[in-house]
Amino acid sequence: MPGAPVSEKAGGTRQAQAAAAPAALAAPPAERSALRLNILSAKEQALKPRGFARQSGVVRAVDGLDPAKLDWTVLADGRQDGRLLVESAGAVKLRVHFANFDAGQGEVWLRRGDGTVAGGPYTGKGPYGDGDFWSDPAEGAELQVEWVGEQDDQPAFRIDRVSHQWPMAASSDDPMYCQLDVSCYSEFSNAAKAVANLDFVADDGGVYICSGELVNSKRSAFAPLFLTANHCMSTETEVRSMVTYWNYQTSKCEAPVPDRAASTQISGGTMLLSYAAIGGDFTLIQLPKAPAGAYLLGWSATDPAVGSKVTAIHHPGPPPNNWKRIAFGTRDSDQKGAMYLDSQLFPLDNFLQFAETGGRVQQGSSGSPLLNENQQVVGVLSYGLIPADGGSYCDIPGASAYGKFSLIYPTIREFLEEVPAPALKASKAKLSFAVADGVAQEPSRQSVVITTDSATPRGFQISTGAPWLTPSVWTGTVSADQPVTVEFMAAPPALPVPGTFSTTATVAMGPVTVASLPVTPVSVAATVTVTSRKPVVTAAVLPNPVVAHTPGRDGTNFEFQLKVEEKAGFAVRISSLKIDGVIYSDHIKDLLGSTDLAANGSIQATIKANLQPSQADRYIELSGFSPATGARWSAKATTKFLPLPPAGE
C-alpha cells in the first residue's frame, strides 16, 4: 500500500481547527478560587517502568472539585463566568481530569496561568458524550478552568485528578550528538509528516511519552488511523488521554530547536484494536481528525529481506530536545527463542531486528515506524537496548526490535482493506415468554449465542424495542473463536396489563467509529403473553401536568380529568380515593359518578380542586376490590399542579 497526503483521502474536511475564546472572557477576575498542590513527594517522583516508553510525569489525585468552588462574576454582556485556578508546584505542563461533566448550555475553557487560551470550548457532556475526559494540556505550573454561560444556567462537573509533567533534566536518555535531524533528509519529508510525538496518562498513574504514525487505508471512506505500541497505550482510557504533537521538527536542516508547545496538537482518540507482544505489540487508534498537511504512510505486509536497508523516523527521549529524528540501518536476522513480557511468553521472531548504522532510537521512540526502501511501514518499535545509568545511547550498539507489520496486518486488515464486513449471527431468531399474575413463568431466562465471522475480537452492543425485554449484558466483545451467550428475560414490572406484546432485540457491532465497517445488525424477535387472575386498574390525569387557573366562584384553582380503567376483565368497586394525600373516600360517587367499574370498562370524570401549586410530583391514589373474587387492587396517577403563569405568558 503506497502512502498519500491526507488531503487526497479526506478532501480537506478533517483539518485541525483553532478554537477562539469569546472576547468577553479576555480578563481574569480580580479574585480567583485556587487549588494549590505542593512540590511532588518522593513517592510521586518514583519512576514507573513501562518498557521503551519514557515517563514524563505523574497523576495527582485531588478532592472532587465542583462548580461550587468556582469564583463567580458577571460579564459585561450579562453572562456569568466562573473560574478556578489550579497550581501544581514545579510542573512544566498541567492537565485536569473531568468526571460527570455537563456544561449545560454554556462552555468550559482552559487557560494558562497568564490567561491565554490552552483548550476548549468543552460543551455538553464533553468530547466523548459521557462526561469523562482529560483536558488539553496547559504549559506551566498553573492553569485556569473557566465556565461561561447564561445566569439561569449551571454547569456540573468534578475535577478529581491533575496530570503533572515535570521538567526533564539532562540524562542518559536526553537526545545525544549521534541523533540525526530528519529535516536534513528531504527525500523523507513526506514520510516525516506522518510521524507524531505523543504523551498520555496511563492507567498506572504515570504520564508517558511515545511516538506513532498515521497509516494509509484502501477503504473508500476516510478515517485518520494512527498506529503506536501496545506497551505505550493499551486501554480506551489511555487512548482518550493522548495528545499528539504534529510537525514537531526543525524548519530546515540543523535549524534552531523547535518549540513543542507551538506544534499542532490533537487531543484524544478511539482505540480500535490493541495487542501485546504476543500479537506484535501494537495499538490502532482512530484520531478525532487528521492534522492539516499530514501524510499517510503506506505499508507492506511483506517483511524486508535480511540485510536490506530500513529507516526509522521517531521522537527520541524526553522534551525539550525530542523533536523529530531519523535513523538508518539494515534489517538483521531474527532472534531465536522467546521472551517473557507482560505475563506472556512470546517468540522473538515476532519482531524485526534493526541494526542502526546512523542515528539512534531510544526511550520515547516507542511506537514509531520502521520503513522499507519504498518508505512503507514494515514494523512498529517495541524495545531496544538501554544504556546503564550515566551512559549514552551513542556509546552502545544501535540495536532495536520492531513488531512485524506482517504479523499485525491480518489483525487490522479489515480497517485497511475493502473487505466484506464481518457478519453477526444469533443462534435463535425468536423468543417466547409468559407472565402470570406478575410472575415470569419458566423458562424465564432464555439464552441466545452471538457469533461473528471476524477473527478479530469486536465490540457489540444490544438494544431492545421495549423496556420489558432485558439482556444479561448490554455490551461486550465477540469473535469467531469467542462466541458470547446472552440471556434474555421478560421483566414483569414493565408488564402490568394483560395481553400479548412483541418487540425486537437488536445486536449491532459497535461502537463503530471508523468511517467504514458497516455491519448489518442481527435481530431476535421476542413475544410475551401476560395473563392475570386479579383485577388490573390504571389511573391517569389529563392534561398532565395540570396548570392552575384563576380561582372561580367555587374557590377552586385546578381542573382536570381523572381516567380510571380496568384491563383484566374483572368488574371492580372503588373503595378508597386520595388526592394529594387528602382522603376523599366518602365522595367517590360525587367525584367519579360511580363507585363501580365494569370489566374492561373505564370512568372519566372532571375534578375541580383547590390545591397549593408546586413543581413537586403529586399523587392521586385509588384502591378497591373485585366483588366476585374479593381480590384487592390499587392504582396511582402521578402529576404536577403548576402555578398560574405570569400575565402575558
Q: Could you read off the pLDDT of 360-387 as tens digits, one per residue?
A: 999 899 999 999 999 999 999 999 888 8
Q: Are residues 366 and 260 in the same domain?
A: yes
Distance CA 219, CA 516 (A): 7
Q: What is the mean pLDDT of the chain?
A: 88
Q: Is residue 592 part of a domain?
A: yes
Residue 19 one-letter amino acid: A
pLDDT digits (tens, 9 = 90+) for 589-639: 999 999 999 999 999 999 998 888 988 999 999 999 999 888 899 999 999
**Statement to judge: residues 347 and 243 lie in one domain:** yes
**So what's the pLDDT on residue 14?**
30
- pLDDT for residue 419: 72
* Same domain, yes or no: 554 and 587: yes
Residues 198 and 342 in one domain: yes
Residue type, 275: Y
Residue 171 in domain = no
The residue with greater pLDDT, 254 or 505, is: 505
Q: SS3 of 55, please?
A: strand
Q: How does pLDDT run across 164-188, given as a tens digit for each residue?
A: 999 875 444 566 678 999 999 999 9
> What are the backbone dihedrals phi and psi of residue 463, each rounded to the nearest 5 degrees, phi first?
-130, 150
Same domain? 263 vs 380: yes
pLDDT of residue 94: 96
What is the grid cell recorded at 264?
499542532
In this structure, is residue 11 part of a structural domain?
Answer: no
Greater pLDDT, 275 or 64: 275
Q: Is 9 contained in some domain?
A: no
| Distance set, CA 514 to CA 53, 223, 271, 287 (Å) | 27, 6, 10, 9
- Counting Cα atoms < 13 Å in the Cβ hemisphere of 169 gives 2
Do 274 and 134 belong to one domain? no
**Cβ neighbours for 72, distance < 8 A, ≥ 6 positions apart:** 80, 81, 82
- pLDDT at residue 314 in the model: 97
Question: 598 in the Ramachandran plot: left (φ > 0), alpha (ψ -120 to 50) or beta?
Answer: beta
Q: Is residue 14 in some structural domain? A: no
- Residue 239 in this model has a pLDDT that exceeds 70: yes
Cα separation of 130 and 117, whole Å? 24
- DSSP letter at 140 equals S
Kindly report the pTM of this predicted structure.
0.70
What is the arithmetic mean of pLDDT over 191-205? 95
Distance from C-alpha of 436 to C-alpha of 452, rounded to nearest angstrom? 36
pLDDT attached to residue 430:
96
- DSSP secondary structure string, 470-521? EES-SEEEEBTTB-EEEEEEE-GGG--S-EEEEEEEEEEE----SS------
- Over residues 138-147, the mean pLDDT reads 93
- pLDDT tens digits for range 478-512: 888 889 999 999 999 888 888 999 999 999 876 54
Tell me: do 314 and 236 sit in the same domain. Answer: yes
Q: Are residues 367 and 274 in the same domain?
A: yes
Last residue of a domain, one of 387, 416, 445: 416
If we measure between CA atoms, which residue out of 424, 446, 449, 428 comes closest to residue 521? 424
* β pairing state of 430-436 and 4-5: unpaired
Distance of CA 286 to the CA centre of its chain: 12
CATH number at residue 404: 2.40.10.120
Q: Which cell is 469 given?
A: 425485554
Residue 105 has pLDDT above 90, yes or no: yes
d(CA 344, CA 410) in angstroms, rounded, equals 21
Burial degree of 579 (CB within 10 A; 0-12, 13-18, 19+): buried
Tell me how far apart the alpha carbons of residues 190 and 211 are, in angstroms, rounded to a whole number.
17
- The pLDDT of residue 628 is 87
For residue 21, being part of any structural domain is answered with no
Q: What is the pLDDT of residue 457?
A: 75
- Asked which of 88-102, 224-238, 267-281, 388-402 is least confident by mean pLDDT, the reply is 388-402
Cell 439561569 belongs to 152
Strands (DSSP E) contained in 126-224 are 133-134, 138-139, 142-149, 156-165, 180-181, 195-201, 206-215
Task: Specify the number of domains making up the chain.
Answer: 4
Is 225 a member of any domain? yes
CATH code of the domain in which 504 resides: 2.60.40.10
At residue 571 the predicted structure's pLDDT band, cuts being 50, 70 and 90, is very high
Tell me, what CATH number does 595's domain have? 2.60.40
Alpha helix stretches (DSSP H) within 68-135 = none
CA distance 585 to 622: 9
Query: Could you tell me the three cell numbers for 376?
Result: 512503507
Can you give the pLDDT at residue 174? 60
Q: Rounded to whole angstroms, how far apart are CA atoms 16 and 482?
A: 39
pLDDT at 464 > cutoff 70 = yes
The answer to the question of residue 96 being in a domain is yes
Choose one of 416, 451, 466: the last residue of a domain: 416
Separation between Cα atoms, residue 596 and residue 601, nearest integer Å: 10
Does residue 382 sit in the same domain as residue 448? no
My answer on whether 382 and 474 are in the same domain is no
**Last residue of a domain, which of 490, 515, 531?**
531
Selection from 288, 268, 285, 291 nearest residue 98 by Cα = 268
Task: Supply the range of the domain harboring residue 606.
Answer: 537-642
Same domain, 509 and 367: no
Which pLDDT score, from 0 to 100, does residue 517 have? 54
d(CA 231, CA 365): 12
For residue 30, name the pLDDT band (cuts at 50, 70, 90): very low
The CATH number covering residue 135 comes to 2.60.120
Same domain (yes/no): 544, 577: yes
Q: Report helix, strand or coil for 562.
A: strand
